[in-house]
């Protein structure tokens, strides 16, 4: 806990057996109260290892995608009484050593959301980020800042922390089940007036770290532009998007799509 707030780490997992132990070793259990791993029908022994390490483990009935996995993560964290929810990828692409830096500003009411940015500083390319992904990241981020009136250094990090109030408010059930979920969630965060902070995060690209290929990256980039344009027009009353409807489907309203294993 920090400042009396229960801190939960959620892990959307798919074939993370090779990196799970290394990731867990860097989590400070003196401040993290609970770890929830949601397995999206891995083909390796991710679930077996999660149970071995005594994590709260939920297994999907079928593969629901990266966004679908996160919806289960956030629903489970809310149900467990979490005050601060931090998403950590179990593929060790982002170091859990930054968890305190993400949690403290939320615990003390400074921000509603914290993002670990790979772009702040100069480590993205030296850490192995492919050049085409770096260029696309910079272009998309600049476009999004322009359309959404924000000043973030990047929107595409998978390492982020949120307050309970934010998760309860956003109609995350309306968001996509694929990778663009991440971007839709941040667009909703800005749309509903929650404030976001950033910390610098080192970048690690290696064989076991999850990463989408070029064609999926193009699909994601087009989705990002769609979300940003939707935000722009919705803010001006020129377009009505389901992801920006206050009465949209919340994650705690979603039916259970997995089973908890021991």
Domain count, the chain: 1
Query: In order along the chain (262 residues), what is the average pLDDT of each group of 10 residues?
Result: 97 96 96 98 96 96 96 98 97 95 97 94 73 88 96 95 98 96 97 96 69 76 94 91 92 93 83
Determine, yes or no, domain membership for 176.
yes
Is residue 1 in a domain?
Answer: no
Q: Is residue 220 part of a domain?
A: yes
Rounded CA separation 102/87 (Å)? 10
Does residue 200 lie in a domain region? Answer: yes
Q: Look at residue 224 and tell me if it is in a domain.
A: yes
Question: Any residues with CB less than 8 A from the CB of 118 and at least 6 apart, and which?
Answer: 124, 127, 129, 154, 157, 201, 202, 203
What pTM does this model have?
Answer: 0.93
Q: What is the pLDDT of residue 131?
A: 84
Residue 262 within any structural domain of the chain: no
User: Does residue 24 sit within a domain?
Assistant: yes
- pLDDT of res. 209: 55
Token pair for residue 246?
């206050």
The CATH number covering residue 232 comes to: 3.90.550.10
Q: What is the pLDDT of residue 212?
A: 65
Q: Is residue 253 part of a domain?
A: no
- Residue 203 lies in domain: 7-248
Tokens of 209: 């770290």
């Amino acid at each position: 806990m920090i400042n009396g707030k229960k801190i939960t780490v959620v892990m959307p997992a798919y074939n993370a057996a090779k990196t799970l132990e290394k990731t867990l070793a860097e989590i400070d259990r003196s401040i993290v109260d609970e770890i929830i791993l949601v397995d999206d029908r891995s083909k390796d022994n991710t679930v077996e290892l999660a149970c071995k390490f005594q994590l709260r483990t939920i297994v999907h009935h079928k593969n629901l995608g990266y966004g679908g996995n996160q919806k289960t993560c956030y629903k489970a964290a809310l149900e467990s009484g979490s005050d601060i929810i931090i998403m950590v990828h179990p593929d060790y692409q982002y170091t859990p050593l930054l968890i305190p830096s993400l949690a403290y500003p939320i615990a003390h009411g400074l921000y509603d959301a914290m993002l670990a940015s790979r772009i702040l500083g100069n480590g993205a390319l030296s850490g192995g980020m492919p050049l085409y992904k770096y260029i696309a990241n910079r272009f998309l981020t600049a476009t999004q800042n322009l359309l959404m009136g924000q000043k973030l250094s990047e929107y595409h990090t998978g390492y982020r922390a949120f307050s309970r109030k934010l998760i309860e408010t956003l109609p995350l059930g309306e968001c996509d089940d694929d990778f663009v979920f991440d971007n839709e969630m941040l667009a909703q965060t800005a749309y509903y007036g929650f404030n976001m902070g950033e910390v610098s995060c080192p970048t690690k690209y290696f064989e076991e770290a999850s990463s989408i290929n070029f064609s999926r990256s193009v699909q994601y980039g087009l989705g990002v532009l769609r979300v940003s344009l939707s935000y722009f027009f919705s803010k001006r009353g020129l377009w009505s998007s389901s992801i920006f409807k206050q009465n949209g489907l919340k994650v705690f309203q979603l039916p259970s799509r997995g089973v908890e294993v021991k």
